[in-house]
Amino acid sequence: MFRFLTEKFNPARKQNYFNRWSVATFIIGMAVVFPLLIIFTHLLKAGDHAWGHITSNLLPGYLANTLYLLLGVGFLVFLIGTSTAWLVSTYRFPGSRIMVWALILPIAIPGYILGFTWVAMLDYTSPLYVYLRNNMGVETGQFLFFNILSLPGAIVILSLSLYPYVFLIAKTWFTRQSASISEAGASLGRSTFAVFCKIVLPLARPALVGGVSLALMEVLNDYGVVSYFGVDTFTTGIFTAWFAFGSPVSAIKLSGILMFFVLLLMLTERVQRGNRRYDMVSGSHKPILKKHLSGMAGMMALIVTTLPVLFGFLLPVAMLVYWTWQTAHLVLDNRFFALVQNSFLLATISSVVVVVAAILIGFTIRTFPSKLTRFLARMATLGYAIPGAVVAIGILVPFIWLDLQISTVTSGAIRMLITGTWFTLIFAYMVRFMAVGFNNVESAMEKTSHSLDEASRSLGMTNFQTLRKIVLPLIRPGILSAALLVFIDVLKELPLTLILRPFNFDTLAIRAFEFASDERVAEAAPASLIIILIGLIAVFLLNHTLKNNKL
């Protein structure tokens, strides 16, 4: 990787390593890794008084809750994701065609919105509970049926919003599975279910574990659900340490431990995958001939696949629509429109910044492929694995220090130059969401032949002209989907925005969350619906690209 530093090279070859493109990629890569480095370098610092309190009183709880969440959500998303994916990809039953895409819908609802909507739906004052209480005499305490504001409640809510990750991967895997595998199994006298358990599932394991890991990453990133449900984990701990205890050291140490969980998760995923990249059976890809399920069995399949969509999307969205209708006259004022404008502007700028950076990195690896540039690209996309709260702390600590220096140098004339500005926020989004933009841009670039670039160069165009005239027009769909996905990610982002936002600055996500936290869930509905709507557009786009790629 660093061969160019040590070996004597033809000076001409250095062009391949040192040029405007690779330097720009280097800067972006370093900028993204920087918050993580801050966390790790500060990790060994001595803890303060608050840290002592946290380790003895709170840390065991954080650990236990995080582990329970990981286990619970991991189990549930696997169960829901694979079973529904298996049903829609192996069988045809009434409604199965709709369920193929309907099962993805819950991914459009951020966990915290799903969470507070369900809490309000089961609450003492919810229309359902009121009806049951007044007409049936059902009386089950503060909540209908069970106390949803609990660890199990958080697990269910997170699973309902995250199972589509597993569903999507499992569905594509099962659909791509050659029919001959199942037919070979059937010809050997095994039932469909036995074939599924003994052949299909083990073959799909690496992919499925990948999907579950993705969902668990989101669990570690989550702040909204756990804080609303009163389940103390590392993310809520970071908030407590930073805001309540005023102890940056503790926040950093908690971030470090959280990162340890993330790394452990990534490592487990990688180790289990190992070299076992099962290739699809080569040759003709005869698609699976879907078996027809009718009568009782078909009904059962429909119910099993409908439940996650009903609880994870239809009911909550219906409820939010109802509340929006009720509170629209209260909420939809100029302040609300200013809020929408604010959020959209922030998300637009962020997605433009991310996409431009992603194009830069993508084109650099394309034009100057080397271990160094690929390493830098990997650095630049690391942020997606880092929980938002950790990114925020990693950025805030050095920026506060920098502001302090500026303030000292200017004798207090300039304060808070960097922290609490849009710049900080957008930089943080870039760190966090670079991978989303990059992966889309890169896969679009991979689909265009390298010889197009070379043809353009041989016809007298420079690299920059080639990028502008050939590559960019050809990858436009990839750029658009990258921008839209970053847009929606920024729009619904919570923990990072809460920590880094400018004073008195609100986004749709924050407003919704704050309304909900003040037990004014009905008023949170309009903002929530906007986020869900934009999310739905992203889902349709995702579904569309998946179909086109025949993944």
Residue type for position 395 = I
Task: Retrieve residue 376's tokens.
Answer: 């830098």
- Nearer to another protein (CB atom), residue 198 or residue 469: 469
5 touching another protein, by CB under 8 A: no
CB 355, CB 483: distance < 8 Å: yes
Map residues 212-251 to x or -, x wherever contact with another protein holds by CB under 8 A.
----------------------------------------
150 touching another protein, by CB under 8 A: no
- Nearer to another protein (CB atom), residue 371 or residue 544: 371
Measured at the alpha carbon of residue 192, what is the angle toward residues 188 and 198, in degrees to the nearest 5? 70
- Nearer to another protein (CB atom), residue 452 or residue 551: 452
Q: Which of 116, 496, 519, 459 is nearest to 319 (CA)?
A: 116
Helix, coil or strand: residue 292:
strand
Task: Report the run of H or E that residue 291 belongs to, with start and end.
Answer: strand 291-292
480 touching another protein, by CB under 8 A: no
Cβ neighbours of 175 (radius 10 Å) = 17
Q: Binders of another protein among 122-141, rule CB under 8 A?
A: none
205 touching another protein, by CB under 8 A: no
- Nearer to another protein (CB atom), residue 454 or residue 518: 454
Binds another protein by CB under 8 A, chosen from 3, 20, 97, 447: 3
Whose structure tokens read 């309304």?
A: 515
Residue 294, burial from CB neighbour count under 10 angstroms (0-12, 13-18, 19+):
exposed
- Nearer to another protein (CB atom), residue 4 or residue 101: 4
Binds another protein by CB under 8 A, chosen from 5, 6, 12, 503: 12
Residue 123 backbone phi and psi in degrees, to 5: -70, 165
Residue 57, burial from CB neighbour count under 10 angstroms (0-12, 13-18, 19+):
exposed
The minimum distance between CB 458 and another protein, in angstroms, equals 4
Q: Binders of another protein among 371-390, rule CB under 8 A?
A: 371
176 touching another protein, by CB under 8 A: no
- Nearer to another protein (CB atom), residue 181 or residue 470: 470
- Nearer to another protein (CB atom), residue 250 or residue 364: 364
370 touching another protein, by CB under 8 A: yes
CB 350, CB 430: distance < 8 Å: yes
Q: Cα(216)–Cα(83) distance, rounded to whole angstroms?
A: 18
Task: Report the run of H or E that residue 120 belongs to, with start and end.
Answer: helix 111-122
454 touching another protein, by CB under 8 A: yes
474 touching another protein, by CB under 8 A: yes
Query: How distant is the alpha carbon of residue 320 from its chain centre?
Result: 23
17 touching another protein, by CB under 8 A: no
Task: Give the binding range for another protein (CB under 8 A) out of 8-16, 157-165, 299-307, 525-533.
Answer: 8-16
- Nearer to another protein (CB atom), residue 6 or residue 284: 6
Q: Which of 216, 225, 246 is nearest to 153 (CA)?
A: 225
Inter-CA distances, 451 with 150, 367, 455, Å? 57, 11, 6
452 touching another protein, by CB under 8 A: yes
446 touching another protein, by CB under 8 A: no
464 touching another protein, by CB under 8 A: no
Binding site for another protein (CB under 8 A): 3, 10-13, 15-16, 370-371, 449, 451-452, 454-462, 469-470, 473-474
